């Protein structure tokens, strides 16, 4: 198709031109001085995105799934007990990664569409008199349902229980889209991948780790080699990595960090929140139902929409792709076929979002969903106009 491509799955997001250009420069020696400068630059830029001064940042070739494994094997030992909060497909897989490494995962099951209830974590930790629970596993934005859990509240709950468990957070689809305060919320690990809010192609696992997590690392007995934090921190101190790094992705990361810094992190969050709200208003004006239950937990990254009763969401997504060349996210795991997801993350502006909403309206109408054509667009346009003076508040 001619014109701009759309990719409205909730990650990978479209890679901006500036990042593509940065990645296409000639490779450099990954053991040379130019590389050392690049490594230091991206590490310190990432610290700003994680909002950490205290934490250390580690980069690996890999993906979010690799980052789960990296987090588990570096902080825990086989047989350790953890509390795994499960409110969707990705939190389920995070917990299963721990189980695969011999960790005893007690699952706190939460209805899909709801956020992780901080008070239930507090209650469980208070009951753990023997302090057997070594860590709490939680996903900030559950990409399968479009729900963002409140990490600040979860931290407060853990403090209220005066429990020493590590707080291990998956921020794969929230970093660079929603506020994430590594130091202030006393996270021990925040793990992510670059293909969402960081606007890069997939191919890396990125982690911020606290001093407490590094201390746990010293006694953690899960076998590890490639994922071992200590080797990476030692090599990083000399400006390189213990293996051949993903140099081209690091060029891209350096550029995307510059873009985020130029826009200003708070403005980036605000842009995401505003586009997300415009999208939700459009969906409601189309008489469709948002999948997340609680408005306080709506995600900035994506909107998950319940497919009208009796219709198959996967078939609708296939239809949309065929009709207007617009890829949307399918339902995953338990919600397969029941919902579709619109990604509005990374490098995206108002007119692009309106194009997406127009495509969805056309696709719904021609899929025999009874919607008033143009109603969603009008609702989004109205909201964007009403808030146009608040485009960049800072």
Task: State the minimum distance, in angstroms, from the CB of residue 239 to ligand PLP.
Answer: 27
Report the distance separating Cα 153 and Cα 90, nearest Å: 21
Burial of 300 (0-12, 13-18, 19+ CB in 10 A): buried
Contact 77/220 with Cβ under 8 angstroms? yes
Task: State the minimum distance, in angstroms, from the CB of residue 65 to ligand PLP.
Answer: 3
Q: Which is nearer to ligand PLP, 11 or 359 (CB)?
A: 11
Q: Which is nearer to ligand PLP, 96 or 365 (CB)?
A: 96
Q: Which is nearer to ligand PLP, 182 or 383 (CB)?
A: 182
Q: Which is nearer to ligand PLP, 139 or 250 (CB)?
A: 139
Q: Is the peptide bond before 12 cis (omega within 30 degrees of 0)?
A: yes
Give the SS3 label for residue 34. helix
Q: Which is nearer to ligand PLP, 174 or 376 (CB)?
A: 174
CA 47 centroid distance within chain = 16
Contact 198/176 with Cβ under 8 angstroms? yes
Task: State the minimum distance, in angstroms, from the CB of residue 173 to ligand PLP.
Answer: 4
- Which residues here bind ligand PLP, judged by CB under 6 A? 11, 63-65, 90, 139, 143, 170, 172-173, 193, 202
Contact 187/40 with Cβ under 8 angstroms? no
- What are the residues facing 104 on neighbouring strands? 81
CA 64 centroid distance within chain = 9
């Amino acid at each position: 198709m001619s014109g701009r491509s759309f990719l409205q799955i909730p990650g990978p997001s479209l890679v901006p031109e500036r990042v593509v250009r940065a990645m296409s420069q000639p490779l450099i020696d990954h053991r040379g001085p130019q590389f050392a400068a690049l490594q230091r630059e991206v590490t310190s830029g990432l610290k700003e995105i994680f909002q950490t001064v205290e934490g250390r940042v580690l980069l690996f070739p890999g993906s979010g799934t690799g980052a789960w494994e990296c987090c588990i094997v570096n902080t825990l030992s086989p047989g350790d007990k953890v509390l795994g909060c499960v409110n969707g497909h990705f939190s389920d897989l995070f917990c299963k990664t721990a189980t695969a490494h011999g960790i005893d995962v007690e699952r706190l099951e939460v209805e899909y569409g709801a956020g992780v209830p901080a008070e239930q974590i507090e209650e469980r930790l208070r009951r753990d008199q023997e302090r057997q629970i070594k860590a709490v596993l939680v996903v900030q934005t559950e990409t399968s349902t479009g729900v963002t859990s409140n990490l600040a509240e979860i931290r407060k709950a853990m403090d209220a229980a005066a429990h020493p468990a590590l707080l291990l957070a998956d921020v794969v689809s929230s970093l660079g889209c929603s506020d994430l305060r590594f130091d202030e919320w006393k996270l021990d690990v925040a793990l992510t991948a670059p293909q969402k809010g960081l606007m890069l192609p997939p191919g890396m696992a990125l982690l911020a780790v606290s001093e407490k997590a590094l201390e746990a690392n010293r006694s953690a007995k899960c076998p590890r080699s490639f994922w071992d934090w200590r080797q990476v921190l030692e090599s990083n101190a000399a400006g390189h990595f213990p293996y051949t790094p993903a140099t081209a992705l690091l060029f891209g990361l350096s550029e995307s960090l510059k873009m985020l810094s130029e826009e200003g992190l708070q403005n980036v969050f605000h842009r995401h929140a505003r586009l997300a709200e415009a999208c939700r208003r459009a969906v409601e004006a189309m008489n469709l139902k948002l999948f997340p239950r609680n408005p306080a937990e709506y995600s900035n990254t994506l909107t998950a929409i319940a497919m009208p009763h009796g219709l198959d969401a996967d078939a609708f997504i296939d239809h949309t792709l065929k009709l207007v060349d617009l890829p949307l996210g399918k339902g995953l795991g338990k919600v397969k076929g029941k919902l579709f997801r619109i990604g509005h993350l990374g490098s995206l502006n108002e007119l692009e979002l309106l194009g997406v909403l127009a495509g969805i309206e056309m696709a719904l109408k021609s899929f025999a969903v009874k919607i008033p054509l143009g109603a969603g667009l009008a609702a989004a346009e109205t909201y964007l106009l009403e808030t146009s003076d608040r485009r960049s508040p800072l």
